[in-house]
Amino acid sequence: MATSLLQRIEPWWASWSTVAQNRIVGLALVAATSPVLGLAMWLEPDPAGVGTHRQLGLGGCTVLTLTGWPCPMCGMTTTFTHMAHLDPLSAIITQPFGVVLFLVTVAGFLTGLGSLIGRNWWRSVLAALLAYEVSIAAGTLIGMAAGWIYKCVAMGLIG
């Protein structure tokens, strides 16, 4: 019988001390979130409410370009940039659900930072995520859909 990846990793993970585990997870969280937050600080928000990502050499949103309708992620980079520039009102106007995702990213960074200094923060966060995973998944889908509908209304495509 084949063993799962988790079954193979578990003994390796258990061999590390709690402090080392905290630091490994903390490093992973900081490594995943700090580039996102750093880019958001470095970029300038596009006044159109979409297209900020083009400053990274990326093309326009394919869905928006082909259909004239935004994708569910349209405006997220612009919203993150507004938030990183401490302009929450513009961020909310651009894409309200993007503000939620930005705050989750900041929380991930802070959790990672705390875990890097040896705190058990990530374990508490993980326990909460696992306890409410269905609600979090449903909330994320509803938030994404509501943000997309809001963006369509803001662009004059609905209503």
Residue 6, domain member (yes or no): no
**Structural domain range at position 62:** 17-154
Residue 133, domain member (yes or no): yes
d(CA 150, CA 127): 32
Residue 5, domain member (yes or no): no
In 3D, which of 107, 111, 84, 120 has the Cα closest to residue 27? 111
Q: How many CB atoms lie within 10 A of CB 61?
A: 19
Residue 3, domain member (yes or no): no
Residue 64, domain member (yes or no): yes
Q: Are 76 and 101 in contact (CB under 8 A)?
A: yes
- Domain count for the chain, please give it: 1
Spell out the long-range contacts of 87-96 with Cβ–Cβ below 8 A and sequence spacing 24 or more. 87/45, 90/45, 93/49, 93/154, 94/45, 94/49, 95/49, 95/147, 95/150, 95/151, 96/146, 96/147, 96/150
Q: What is the pLDDT along the chain (159 residues), one digit of tens a residue?
A: 577 888 888 898 899 998 899 999 999 999 999 999 999 999 999 999 899 999 999 998 899 899 989 999 999 999 999 999 999 999 999 999 999 999 999 999 999 999 998 788 899 999 999 999 999 999 999 999 999 999 999 999 987
pLDDT, one tens digit per residue, over 24-68 is 999 999 999 999 999 999 999 999 989 999 999 999 889 989 998
In 3D, which of 110, 126, 128 has the Cα closest to residue 32? 110
